[in-house]
Chains A and B, each alone.
Chain A
Amino acid sequence: KNEVEQSPQNLTAQEGEFITINCSYSVGISALHWLQQHPGGGIVSLFMLSSGKKKHGRLIATINIQEKHSSLHITASHPRDSAVYICAVGEYGNKLVFGAGTILRVKS
């Protein structure tokens, strides 16, 4: 069992829908990261959080440390949001452990 589990693995949504991607982890962490990998392959960091909630534009990330769970929400989804979303947990020693990713496709 991977230390970081994401769900769903694949997600197809209609433009405008509210999207939630979930991440659960089984290890003690220093921080949790959400990354976006574009269809062209580039990886961008969306959020890094260790408690509570962060918002950037239409993206919201939350974390519950006690439950070892984080969610990434996308409001008013758009086809340009189509990408792979990756959850990663930061462990001591500068180490990131990655989930398998969620492939999101937003149809117009």
Chain B
Amino acid sequence: DTAVSQTPKYLVTQMGNDKSIKCEQNLGHDTMYWYKQDSKKFLKIMFSYNNKELIINETVPNRFSPKSPDKAHLNLHINSLELGDSAVYFCASSRDASGRASDTQYFGPGTRLTVL
């Protein structure tokens, strides 16, 4: 049983297209995250949701819009894709109701996005 799953694993698309990445966790966690890992393998938080409510939005372009239909799902929609959006995107979840990033985070397998 996969704890945090993401689809698709690989996504290759043209500049200007709109795409979505889906994330689901079956751990019963309240908090979910999206992270971006750039070509230098540096991880950075993009968004955090707690119980379907946006907690963190780290100066991400408006073209990125997270959507949480329920607390087990956090999807990432990207409009008008640009070359610089090419990266690996990781979804994660944690119990973290405290809002202090002090609970173990469980990561999905990542989605490698390539924009041509």
B102 contacts A45, CB within 8 Å?
A: no
Contact B109 A93 (CB under 8 A): no
Instruction: Judge whether B100 and A31 touch: CB under 8 Å.
Output: yes
SS class, residues of chain A in contact with chain B: strand
Interface size on B, as a range, is 20 to 34
Residues of A contacting B94 in the complex (Cβ-Cβ under 8 angstroms): 94
- Which of A84, A93, A97 contacts B55 (CB under 8 A)? A93
Contact A41 B110, beta carbon cutoff 8 Å: yes
Whether B107 pairs with A95 at a CB distance below 8 angstroms is: no
Number of interface residues of A (CB under 8 A): 26
List, in ascending order, chain A residues with CB within 8 A of B42's CB: 98, 100-101
Q: Which residue of B lies closest to A29 (CB)?
A: B101
Interface residues of B in 72-116 (CB under 8 A from A): 88, 90, 92, 94, 96, 99-107, 109-110, 112
Q: Which residues of A contact B (CB under 8 A)?
A: 30-31, 33, 35, 37, 41-45, 48, 50, 84, 86, 88, 90-98, 100-101
B residues touching A (Cβ–Cβ < 8 Å)? 31, 33, 40-45, 48, 50, 55-56, 58, 88, 90, 92, 94, 96, 99-107, 109-110, 112
